Structure 1
Amino acid sequence: MQRIDVTRDDGTWAGLSLDVRDRHQPDLCVHTAGPRLLVSQLSRPVLLAVVEEPLQGVHFRRADGYRSFVPPLRADTARALSGSPERWAHRFARYLSDSPGSPLHEGRWLLTCESPILHGRHPTTSHAEHWSSMLVEGDPDGYIDWYLHSHSWEVLPLRPMPGPGDSRVKAYRKQAREGTLPPVLLWWVSGLDCHLILDGHARLAAAIAESVEPPLLQVHRTAARDDLAAGIEDAVGAYESALARFAGLRAFHGPTVPDGAATTGPQFARQLRDLHTARQPTWSWPLPGGEDQWWRIAHEVTVGNAWPPA
Structure 2
Amino acid sequence: MDRGHRELLGRDRLVLDVRDRPGPPPLRFEATDDARRRLLRQGERPLLLGAATGDGCCRDLHLHRLAGYRSPLPPLRSAAMRSGVNQVHQYARWLEDAPQGPLCDGRWELSRRTVFAPGVWDVDLVRDWPGGCLELWCGGGWHGVLPLRELSTPDAPRVKAYRKHAREGTLAPVLLWWVSFLDGWAILDGHDRAVAALTEGRTPECVVLTRVVDEDTWRRQAAELTEECESRTAPLDARPHPGAARHRALMEEGFAHTLAELPYEASSTPSWPLPGGRADWDHLAAAAVFQFPSD
TM over 0.5: yes
In 2, the alpha carbon distance for the partners of 1:70 and 1:14 equals 18
Which residue of 2 is the match for residue 76 of structure 1? Answer: 79
Alignment of 1:72-221 (within 5 A): 72-81=75-84, 87-114=86-113, 118-121=115-118, 131-146=121-136, 150-221=140-211
Answer yes or no: is the 8 Å Cα contact 1:186–1:198 preserved in 2: yes
Answer yes or no: is the 8 Å Cα contact 1:247–1:259 preserved in 2: no
Answer yes or no: is the 8 Å Cα contact 1:66–1:159 preserved in 2: yes
In 1, the alpha carbon distance for the partners of 2:76 and 2:136 equals 34
Deviation at 1:229, TM superposition (A): 1.4
Alignment of 1:243-258 (within 5 A): 243-250=233-240, 253=241, 257-258=244-245
Quickly say closer, same or farther: Cα 1:113–1:162, change in 2 above 3 A.
Answer: same
More helix by share: 1
Q: TM-score, normalised by structure 2?
A: 0.88
Deviation at 1:150, TM superposition (A): 3.8
Quickly say closer, same or farther: Cα 1:119–1:196, change in 2 above 3 A.
Answer: closer
Report which stretch shifted further, 70-79 or 157-166.
70-79
Letter of the structure 2 residue corresponding to residue 16 of structure 1: L
Answer yes or no: is the 8 Å Cα contact 1:96–1:102 preserved in 2: yes
Equivalent position to 2:70, from 60, 67, 72: 67
Deviation at 1:105, TM superposition (A): 0.8
Q: Summarize deviations over 1:113-148 as a string: whole Å, max 9, x none.
A: 248xx3422xxxxxxx86232312321111112266
Q: Does 1:276 align with 2:263?
A: yes
Which residue of 2 is the match for residue 58 of structure 1? Answer: 61
In 2, the alpha carbon distance for the partners of 1:242 and 1:150 equals 32
Q: Summarize deviations over 1:224-263 as a string: whole Å, max 9, x none.
A: 121011112223333344444433333xx37x53254531
SS of 1:202 mapped into structure 2 = helix
Report which stretch shifted further, 273-282 or 239-248.
239-248
Answer yes or no: is the 8 Å Cα contact 1:96–1:104 preserved in 2: yes
Quickly say closer, same or farther: Cα 1:287–1:268, change in 2 above 3 A.
Answer: same
Answer yes or no: is the 8 Å Cα contact 2:181–2:269 preserved in 1: yes
Letter of the structure 1 residue corresponding to residue 257 of structure 2: R
Q: Does 1:308 align with 2:295?
A: no
Which residue of 2 is the match for residue 10 of structure 1? Answer: none
Aligned residues: 286
Deviation at 1:71, TM superposition (A): 0.4
SS of 1:227 mapped into structure 2 = helix
Q: TM-score, normalised by structure 1?
A: 0.84
Q: Which runs of 5+ in 1 are unaligned?
A: 8-12, 122-128
